[in-house]
C-alpha cells in the first residue's frame, strides 16, 4: 500500500468521525422559525454566483414579519456571504454550508448565529438553497455512505450464500440449499436418467440463485461488482453457463477458492478477499489489517499491544505510542477539573450513561491538591482528546467502525487500544 493512501486513510477515519458527529448534532437542531440556512454548492458553480443569490435572498428576507426571525435570517445570510468571500474559486468537490441562529439554552432571543462549513467527502451533486426550521443534512448523509458495495456469492452443489460488502462492513443476506441429491445414484435408477434428473435439479437451483442475486444484489444493494467463492468447480460451471444478470456476470471482480459455501463460505470469502488484497483501499479491508496487527501484538509476549482508556492515555503521554485504535461508538467522555484556587488539573473518564451521576459527584468533590471545592469542569469528546495527544507525540490514530466484526474485537477490549513503539523500561507487567 502506498504511503499517500495510508496517510489519506488515516485522516479519513478521523475526519469521517468528526463529520458524522457534526451531522448528527446539526440534524437535531430546530430553529424556532424558518431561519436556518443550508447551501449546497456543486463544484462548477462559481462562488460569485452563490453570493449574488444569497444577497437577493437577504433582500427578500426583509419582508419577514417577525423581527427576531428576520434578523436571524439576515445575519445567517451575511455570515455565509462573508465566509464565501474567502474563496477565490469553488473547492474541487464543492462546498456545503449550514448557518443559523442556534439556541443557547437561555431562551428565545439569546440564539447565536453560527456557521458550519463542510468540505464534502465527494463532489456535491446538487445545487440547493434552503431557509427552513431545520438544516438540510440528508444529502450530506447520503454522501457519507460508501456507495461501492460489492456482492458476495459462495456456491457449491448443496448450498449457496449471498452477502454484501460495503465500505466498513459486510453481512450475509441470504442462503439457499439445492436439495440436489449426491453424486451417486440410488439402486435401480438408470445412470442416464439419474444424470438428467440431477442436471435439471441443478439447473433449477442455479436459476434460483440467480434470481435471489438479482433481487438482493442489484435491486436492493446496487452492488458495483461481484466476488465469487466456493469449494470445487461448481462456481466455475455456474459462471461459465451465465445464469447471472449481465450486471453481475460482467462485473465479477474475483473468483476465489473457499472450503465452505453458504453462510460460512461468505465469512471465509471476506477473509480471503482481505488476504489476497482484492479490495485494497476499501475501508473495511484496511480496518481488518489494522485490527489483525493489533491483536497480534496483544497476544504476543512482547507486551506492545495495550488496551483500556487509562493505559492508552498514560502511554500516549509518555510518548511511546505508535498507533491508537478506537471504535467510533466509544461512549467515554473526558471530564477535566480545574481548581479555581490552585489551578491544579485533573481528568476523569466517564461512560456517557454515567455522566449525569458523575456530574453530581464532581460538584461536591474537592481539589486533590488543596482541598478547595470550587472547581471548573470541562467535558470533551474522548476521540478529540486522543487525537490531540496522538498528533503532539507523533502517534497515528485510527477510528474504526464499532459495528464490524473487527470493531467487536476492539469493543471487547474497552473500545480503545494501542500499539507501543517499545515497552517502557522497568515495567514488567503485561497488557
Q: Which is nearer to Zn ion, 363 or 370 (CB)?
A: 370
Q: Which is nearer to Zn ion, 369 or 391 (CB)?
A: 369
Which one, of 245, 251, 209, lies nearest residue 226 by Cα? 251
- Show the cell assigned to 219: 435491486
DSSP 123: -
Q: How far apart are CA 128 and CA 98, in angstroms?
A: 12
For residue 360, the minimal CB distance to Zn ion (Å) is 20
408 contacts Zn ion (rule: CB under 5 A): no
373 contacts Zn ion (rule: CB under 5 A): no
372 contacts Zn ion (rule: CB under 5 A): yes
Is the separation of the CB atoms in 164 and 171 below 8 Å?
Answer: yes
Residue 338 phi/psi, 5-degree rounding, is -130, 125
* H or E element in which residue 285 lies: helix 283-299
339 contacts Zn ion (rule: CB under 5 A): yes
For residue 373, the minimal CB distance to Zn ion (Å) is 9
For residue 382, the minimal CB distance to Zn ion (Å) is 25
Q: Which of 237, 344, 393, 411 binds Zn ion (CB under 5 A)?
A: 344
Mention every residue, 6+ apart, whose C-beta is less than 8 A from residue 368: 344, 346
Q: Which is nearer to Zn ion, 90 or 375 (CB)?
A: 375
For residue 111, the minimal CB distance to Zn ion (Å) is 36
For residue 348, the minimal CB distance to Zn ion (Å) is 16
Q: Which is nearer to Zn ion, 119 or 347 (CB)?
A: 347
- Show the cell assigned to 52: 449574488
Q: Which is nearer to Zn ion, 44 or 341 (CB)?
A: 341
Q: Which of these ranges, 186-194, 245-253, 270-278, 344-352, lies near Zn ion under the rule CB under 5 A?
A: 344-352
For residue 364, the minimal CB distance to Zn ion (Å) is 15
Residue by residue, DSSP assigns 27-66 as HT---SSS-EEEEEE-TTS-HHHHHHHHHHHHHHHTT-S-
375 contacts Zn ion (rule: CB under 5 A): no
337 contacts Zn ion (rule: CB under 5 A): no
DSSP β-bridge partners for residue 174: 162
- Show the cell assigned to 410: 476492539
Q: How far apart are CA 329 and CA 323, in angstroms?
A: 18
Q: Which is nearer to Zn ion, 59 or 371 (CB)?
A: 371
Q: Which is nearer to Zn ion, 372 or 392 (CB)?
A: 372
Integer-rounded Cα Rg, in Å, for the chain is 28
Q: Which of these ranges, 165-173, 334-342, 356-364, 391-399, lies near Zn ion under the rule CB under 5 A?
A: 334-342
For residue 340, the minimal CB distance to Zn ion (Å) is 8
Q: Which is nearer to Zn ion, 44 or 368 (CB)?
A: 368
In terms of DSSP bridges, do strands 375-381 and 321-327 run parallel, antiparallel, or are they unpaired? unpaired
Which one, of 32, 28, 50, lies nearest residue 41 by Cα? 50
Q: Which is nearer to Zn ion, 185 or 338 (CB)?
A: 338
Residues in contact with Zn ion, counted by CB under 5 A, come to a total of: 8
Q: Which of 1, 52, 126, 370 binds Zn ion (CB under 5 A)?
A: 370
Residue 185 phi/psi, 5-degree rounding, is -80, 160
Taking every pair of Cα atoms in the chain, the longest distance, rounded to a whole number of angstroms, is 97
For residues 280-319, which are near Zn ion according to CB under 5 A? Answer: none
Q: How far apart are CA 277 and CA 407, in angstroms?
A: 20
Q: Which of these ranges, 35-43, 83-91, 294-302, 342-350, lies near Zn ion under the rule CB under 5 A?
A: 342-350
For residue 389, the minimal CB distance to Zn ion (Å) is 24
Q: Which of 56, 318, 369, 380 binds Zn ion (CB under 5 A)?
A: 369
420 contacts Zn ion (rule: CB under 5 A): no
Residue 428 CB: number of other CB atoms within 10 A? 6
Is the separation of the CB atoms in 37 and 98 below 8 Å?
Answer: yes
Residue given cell 507501543 in the structure block: 420
Q: Which is nearer to Zn ion, 141 or 368 (CB)?
A: 368
For residue 380, the minimal CB distance to Zn ion (Å) is 21
Q: Which is nearer to Zn ion, 155 or 339 (CB)?
A: 339
126 contacts Zn ion (rule: CB under 5 A): no
For residues 349-368, which are near Zn ion according to CB under 5 A? Answer: 367
Q: Report CA-CA distances (Å) from 355 to 18, 51, 361, 379, 386.
A: 21, 44, 10, 10, 19
Q: How far apart are CA 127 and CA 49, in angstroms?
A: 12
273 contacts Zn ion (rule: CB under 5 A): no
For residue 374, the minimal CB distance to Zn ion (Å) is 9
The residues binding Zn ion (CB under 5 A) are 339, 341-342, 344, 367, 369-370, 372
Amino acid at each position: 500500500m502506498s504511503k499517500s493512501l495510508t496517510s489519506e486513510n488515516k485522516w479519513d477515519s478521523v475526519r469521517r468521525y468528526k463529520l458524522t458527529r457534526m451531522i448528527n448534532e446539526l440534524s437535531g437542531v430546530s430553529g424556532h422559525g424558518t431561519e436556518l440556512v443550508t447551501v449546497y454548492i456543486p463544484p462548477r458553480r462559481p462562488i460569485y454566483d452563490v453570493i449574488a443569490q444569497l444577497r437577493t435572498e437577504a433582500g427578500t428576507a426583509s419582508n419577514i414579519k417577525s423581527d427576531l426571525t428576520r434578523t436571524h435570517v439576515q445575519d445567517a445570510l451575511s455570515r455565509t456571504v462573508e465566509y464565501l468571500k474567502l474563496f477565490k474559486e469553488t473547492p474541487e468537490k464543492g462546498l456545503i454550508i449550514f448557518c443559523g441562529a442556534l439556541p443557547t439554552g437561555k431562551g428565545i432571543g439569546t440564539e447565536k448565529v453560527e456557521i458550519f462549513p463542510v468540505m464534502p467527502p465527494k463532489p456535491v451533486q446538487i445545487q440547493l438553497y434552503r431557509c427552513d426550521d431545520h438544516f438540510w443534512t440528508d444529502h450530506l448523509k447520503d454522501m457519507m455512505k460508501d456507495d461501492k458495495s460489492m456482492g458476495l456469492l459462495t456456491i457449491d452443489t448443496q448450498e449457496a450464500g449471498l452477502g454484501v460488502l460495503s465500505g466498513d462492513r459486510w453481512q450475509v443476506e441470504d442462503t439457499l440449499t439445492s436439495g440436489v441429491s449426491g453424486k451417486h445414484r440410488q439402486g435401480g435408477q438408470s445412470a442416464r436418467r439419474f444424470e438428467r434428473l440431477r442436471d435439471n435439479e441443478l439447473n433449477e437451483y442455479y436459476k434460483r440463485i440467480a434470481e435471489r442475486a438479482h433481487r438482493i444484489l442489484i435491486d436492493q444493494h446496487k452492488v458495483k461488482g461481484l466476488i465469487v467463492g466456493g469449494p470445487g468447480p461448481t462456481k466455475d460451471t455456474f459462471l461459465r453457463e451465465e445464469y447471472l444478470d449481465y450486471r453481475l456476470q460482467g462485473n465479477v471482480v474475483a473468483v476465489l477458492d473457499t472450503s465452505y459455501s453458504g453462510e460460512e463460505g461468505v465469512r471465509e470469502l471476506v477473509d480471503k478477499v482481505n488476504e489476497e488484497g482484492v479490495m485494497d483501499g476499501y475501508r473495511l479491508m484496511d480496518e481488518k489489517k489494522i485490527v489483525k496487527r493489533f491483536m497480534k501484538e496483544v497476544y504476543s509476549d512482547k507486551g506492545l499491544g495495550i488496551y483500556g482508556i487509562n493505559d492508552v492515555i498514560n502511554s500516549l503521554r509518555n510518548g511511546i505510542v505508535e498507533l491508537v485504535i478506537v471504535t467510533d461508538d466509544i461512549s467515554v467522555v473526558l471530564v477535566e477539573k480545574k481548581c479555581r484556587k490552585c489551578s491544579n488539573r485533573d481528568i476523569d473518564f466517564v461512560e456517557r450513561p454515567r455522566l449525569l451521576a458523575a456530574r453530581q459527584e464532581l460538584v461536591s468533590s474537592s481539589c486533590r491538591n488543596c482541598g478547595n471545592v470550587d472547581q471548573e469542569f470541562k467535558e470533551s469528546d474522548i476521540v478529540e482528546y486522543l487525537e490531540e495527544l496522538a498528533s503532539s507525540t507523533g502517534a497515528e490514530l485510527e477510528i474504526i467502525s464499532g459495528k464490524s466484526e473487527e470493531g467487536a474485537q476492539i469493543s471487547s477490549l474497552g473500545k480503545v487500544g494501542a500499539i507501543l513503539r517499545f515497552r517502557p523500561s522497568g515495567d514488567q507487567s503485561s497488557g
